[in-house]
Amino acid sequence: MHTPIAVTLKLDEGKLGAQEFQRVAAKAGLIRELRVRREEALDNFGKPGRDPHELGDVLTKIVEQSGWGPHLKMASLESDWASVVGEVNARHSRVASYVDGVLTIAADSPSWTQQLTAIAPMLTETLRERLGGLRIDEVRVTGPQTHGRGVRMMKYVQRNTRRPRG
């Protein structure tokens, strides 16, 4: 015959029911508290002290602490490029890179490179205003190369190999 578990574990059978009831009652109390909190949150939604602008403050702090600020400003500049340089110039150029205060603009052709280079000083001032807090020391404009890598390599080989005369 098996010994009852209460005897084996030396438990007081009179207290077992009360202990189990306390555990169930505590869980029920926690569930009730969570339900009350959820109802209060729904009732307070949109009331003063719970303004949505506070979320923006949190996001701003995250951006500042993570170092994403310059990347977000450059993304904003790329998406709004036409309002900075004008629609026509924007169709023939794009923001290429930003490194250590130097903003590089890639132009479609040598003539567009010349056009944008002429307005680079004005662009520098405009960009400093628009991208407040982002250091803009110089605006460089680059154009396409006149020859691709293959043509340059072929010319290099031709210049540096001598053909025997004879």
pLDDT in tens, 59-109: 878 877 888 888 888 888 888 888 888 899 999 999 988 888 898 999 988
- At residue 162 the predicted structure's pLDDT band, cuts being 50, 70 and 90, is low
Does 23 have pLDDT greater than 60? Answer: yes
Sequence-ordered list of residues with C-beta below 8 angstroms from that of 130, at least 6 positions apart, any chain: 77, 84
- At residue 147 the predicted structure's pLDDT band, cuts being 50, 70 and 90, is low
Which tokens sit at 16?
């077992």
Residue 118's pLDDT is: 92
- At residue 129 the predicted structure's pLDDT band, cuts being 50, 70 and 90, is confident
Domain 90-146 CATH assignment equals 2.60.40: no
In order of 11, 13, 45, 62, 95, the CA distances from 16 in angstroms are: 8, 5, 44, 52, 74
- Residues 22-50, mean pLDDT to the nearest whole number: 81
Using DSSP bridges, classify how beta strands 138-142 and 93-99 pair: parallel, antiparallel or unpaired. Answer: unpaired
Does 32 have pLDDT greater than 70? Answer: yes
DSSP 11: -
